[in-house]
Amino acid sequence: MDVKIGVLALQGDVSEHIDAFAAALAACGCEKGSSVVEIRSPGDLDGCAALALPGGESTTISRLIDKNGLYEPIRTFKGGIFATCAGMVLMATHVADPRVHSLGLMDMTVDRNAFGRQKESFEADIPVTGIDGGPFHAIFIRAPVVTAAGTGVRVLAKLDQGVVATERGRYMALAFHPELGGDFRLHERFLKNLGI
């Protein structure tokens, strides 16, 4: 199966997402004829089965989405969306920071930088619903949390501070960075949910 995955390439850890999805496609037996491409303009989304919204700085990414005319194309994108860290913030319907023009694709309230500043970044082994093979080693960098999950949003993982992994239909949103740890089980789950 030929699959094209897009990674929003405006700011953040773009190359890490490209590598992670290439590895996940290979694990799913789809590497031949498939591609992972950078998305910078609406036309770049053509033919994509999925889009990754990477970690980075959510206010900056939000501004660049608007500047590059990508807000409505992402909101109306028919494929899956895999969002990490800042991407989770962008997926929410409610974000306390007015500088973030969120996409409103998942009914949830997200608190930016919920664990503190950069020096409070941490790693933890967390159980995640729906993946086999034991806990997931999660890397949290100035991470958000979901403080309220609404209609149709399934909680996959939580810590004392709040929910750190959610999914709804073709969407998955994570407060941490699975693209950094070499464990691509969540990428694979996401692809399988899309029928890939």
Of the chain, the end-to-end C-alpha distance in Å amounts to: 8
Evaluated on CA atoms 36, 141, 192, 76, the torsion sign reads negative
Is 17 catalytic? The answer is no
Domain boundaries, the chain: 4-193
Cα radius of gyration (the chain):
15
pTM: 0.95
Q: Which two tokens stand for residue 91?
A: 């997926």
Pick the catalytic residue from 17, 85, 187, 188. Answer: 85
Is 177 catalytic? The answer is yes
The per-residue pLDDT for range 133-148, each reduced to its tens digit, is 999 999 999 899 999 9
The per-residue pLDDT for range 69-114, each reduced to its tens digit, is 999 999 999 999 999 999 999 999 999 888 999 999 999 999 887 6
For the domain 4-193, what is the CATH code? Answer: 3.40.50.880
Pick the catalytic residue from 16, 177, 187, 188. Answer: 177
Is 72 catalytic? The answer is no
Cα separation, 38 vs 15, in Å, equals: 9
Cα separation, 95 vs 109, in Å, equals: 6
